[in-house]
Structures are given as C-alpha cells and as structure tokens.
Amino acid sequence: MWTYSNPVNVIFGAGEFGKIAEMIGGRSYALITYPDEPFQDLTVRLIKKAGRPVLIINDIAPNPDYELLAEQSGRFQGLDASVDVIVALGGGSVIDSAKVFAAANGDFTKVAKFLETKEGEDQLAGIPIIAVPTTAGTGSEVTCWATVWNESRGKKYSLASLKLYPETALVDPYLMLGKPYGLTLETGLDSLSHSLESIWNVNSNPVSARHAVSAAKLILDTLPKLLSDLPKLDLRSKQAEASLYAGLAFSNTKTAIAHNLSYPITLGWGVQHGIACSFTLPTILRSMEGIGGFREAALKEIFGNDLSAGAEWLTRFLMALGVGCTFREQGVPQDKVAAVVDEAFAGERGKNFVGSKDEFLKSLKTQENMNYELS
C-alpha cells in the first residue's frame, strides 16, 4: 500500500513571472527576497504589477538561523494591514524563510517550540505562500518543510507541516539566467541528491520514484552542459524542470542518509550544502546493490544494471565537476568521521534510509580506494 499527494499549483515557463499579479489577486502581501541585483529590479517589476507590499524582508541569510529568523518574524507585528499572502522570490533560503514567517505570523517562539518539542503544531499559522524559485536546486517550492539552523547550539531542524505547502510554485527559468558557475553546480547537485535520496528511502513509492528517475537522468545529462554554457536558456529550463521533478519526488519521502551526513559537515567544516549532501552519493549507491524491488529497479534505470559500476561512473562524474567523493576531500578529519556517521544513522533522516550502516561503511572503504586511484 502506498499514497502520493502534492497540493501545490505548479506554473512553469519562461516569462511566466509576468503573471505574478494575477496570482496575488489583489491580496495584501509580504515580499521575501534578497537585496542585491537582480532582485532589486524584480522587486520594482513586482510592485508595478501588483502594488506595494505591506512588508519587504530582504536580509535573508544563506542558512536561515534562529536569531535572525526570530527578529525577522517580529517584523510582521504592528503592520498597517494584515499579510494575506507571502511572495517568496529567491533561492531555497528565501523560500524556507518564508515558510518560517508563514508559520510564525509574527511569533517565532511558536515555531521554536514546535521545532524543539514537536508539540504545538496546531498553534502554527499558515499564511499562503507563492514560491518563485530563482535557482534550480532545493525543490522547496513544492514541499511542506524548511531547514532551520541554530548555529549557536550546533543544531539543524526541519520545520514540517502540511500548512506550509506553497499555494503556488511559479517556476520561470528566465529568473535563473545569470547565476554563476558555483551556485549552478551546488544547486544542481542538491537536486540530484534529492532525487536519489527519495529512492533509497523507506517512504518511497512508485510515483515518487518516477519523478526521481526523470529528475536524476535529466540532471546527469544537463548539468555538465549547463556548466559549460551558463547563458543557455534551454539548458536552464531543463535543469529547472529536473529540480521540480526532484522536489515532487522528495516532497513525499523527505531526504535520507546523504542529507543527514551533510548537516554536521556544513556546520563544522563549512562545506556548502549542495556539495555536502552529494559527495557521498556514490558510496551510498554502491551499498544499494541487492536492495531489491522498485527502488533497485529505479536506480538501475538511472545507472545501469551493475550499481557498483554505476557508483564508479557517478564518482567520475562528480570528480569531473571538481567534487571529491570522500570525507577527507571535504576537509573532515579522519578521527571525526565515525562520529559523523554514527550520528547520521541514528537521526531522523538516517532512519529514512533503506540500507544499513555496515554496508555503507564497507562501500566507503571501496570509495576511498577508488578516489585515491582516480586522483
């Protein structure tokens, strides 16, 4: 028995941002975005079409953190008009922050309580969100959760509530033009991780697997081409489509072990999220040999019938993009690896993984030898 559900209205197409006023529909809105170009120009375009927002928050951090989110949430208090809808215009951190604001509606303490105790979900608000992604990576425009960091305590939380599915995802590949090489690489690998993580997942189902296979195959074909031709709109569109498919896949499964391994690596050693959650993918893929069922079939549809050979191919793919596939190459000291692995497998996302820690560690030894030989 399995189920699949996603309530987000998806609008996809180059130039569709021009219809944003129709989606706002005369409601009072808050705009969540960035302060730099091209977001200043997009803000001006939005205001001309939809009128001035009652609130603009544009000091969004790359990894939304407790302290800043609490202060930003407080800005929703004392406004001249209520916020009927939130427009999130930007990357994953903007959309994730918008979900926090939608849940808090001016009171971040309610969000913090829910994150820390898993109690009080009924106290969360649910202001509607129009998500307009400007990167192709997080898939946050079609999920009901957000990543929240508490750097002072060295913790990462996932805010998850059905109230936080965006009302609309407006995916306009034109808005992704001009993104630099590094950001394109990191977000592209994040979406690849989302697709594969949704397959080797206890919550996977045949529909999510179809989305995941489509996403992974499109990313593996498109991303290297895009990185060699960043201004190409057709390639940006394909990458945006792939990221959307990956989002639709893991919107029903959440992530798994690669992401749980990534969080302490981002917090402790500053490795950017898209790299931190993708460098272990070959190791995990090799450990999936023999897992069986539609999950193994989906992985073989992407990588071929020999998953060990597929893991070697994926290693070469990542290394060609400058991504080393071992902890050492990501700057994690050897004496810290065991603790990172133990913590990851014990955590919530680790428990989503259908494989075992023993098979992962066995595969990791093979991976370390392979990376040494290839380098």
Higher pLDDT, 58 or 63: 58
The rounded distance, in Å, linking the Cα atoms of 12 and 364 is 39
Q: What is the pLDDT of residue 63?
A: 87
Q: Bridge partners of 168?
A: 9, 130
Domains of the chain, each with CATH number or no CATH: 9-175 (3.40.50.1970), 177-374 (1.20.1090.10)
Residue 108 pLDDT: 97
As a whole number of angstroms, the distance between CA 277 and CA 33 comes to 25
How many separate helices (H) and strands (E) can be counted in the chain?
16, 8
Residue 294 has pLDDT above 90, yes or no: yes
Work out the average pLDDT over 27-50.
96
**Average pLDDT, integer, range 327-353:** 97
**pLDDT score of 342 more than 90:** yes
Strands 145-150 and 155-160: antiparallel
Interhelix angle 307-320/293-303, rounded to 10 degrees, is 50
Does residue 174 have a pLDDT over 70?
Answer: yes
**Cα(62)–Cα(95) distance, integer angstroms:** 11
- The pLDDT-based confidence of 370 (bands split at 50, 70, 90) is confident
Give 374's pLDDT tier (boundaries 50, 70, 90). confident
Dist. CA 286–CA 311, nearest whole Å: 6
Asked whether the predicted pLDDT for residue 326 surpasses 70, the reply is yes
Average pLDDT, the chain: 96
Close Cβ partners of 51 (under 8 Å, ≥ 6 residues apart)? none
| Confidence at residue 151, expressed as pLDDT on a 0 to 100 scale | 87
Supply the pLDDT for residue 68: 96
Is pLDDT of 164 > 90? Answer: yes
**How far apart, in whole angstroms, are the C-alpha atoms of residue 353 and residue 197?**
8
> Among 88-92, 151-155, 212-216, which stretch is predicted with the lowest mean pLDDT?
151-155
Burial 279-292 (b: 16+ CB within 10 A, else e): bbbbbbbbbbbebe
Residue 48: band (very low, low, confident or very high) from pLDDT cuts 50, 70, 90: very high
The share of the chain scoring above pLDDT 70, in percent, equals 99
Q: Name the token pair of 289.
A: 């040999």
Going from the C-alpha of 308 to that of each of 172, 305, 327, 332, the distances in angstroms are 37, 9, 19, 25
pLDDT on residue 375: 65
**Which pLDDT score is estimated for 372?**
67
Which pLDDT tens digit goes with each residue over 122-131? 999 999 999 9
pLDDT the model gives residue 1: 87
Per-residue pLDDT reduced to its tens digit, 249-271: 999 999 999 999 999 999 999 99
Classify 121 as helix, strand or coil.
Answer: helix
To 5 degrees, how large is the angle CA 321–CA 323–CA 326? 150
H/E stretch holding 374? helix 357-374
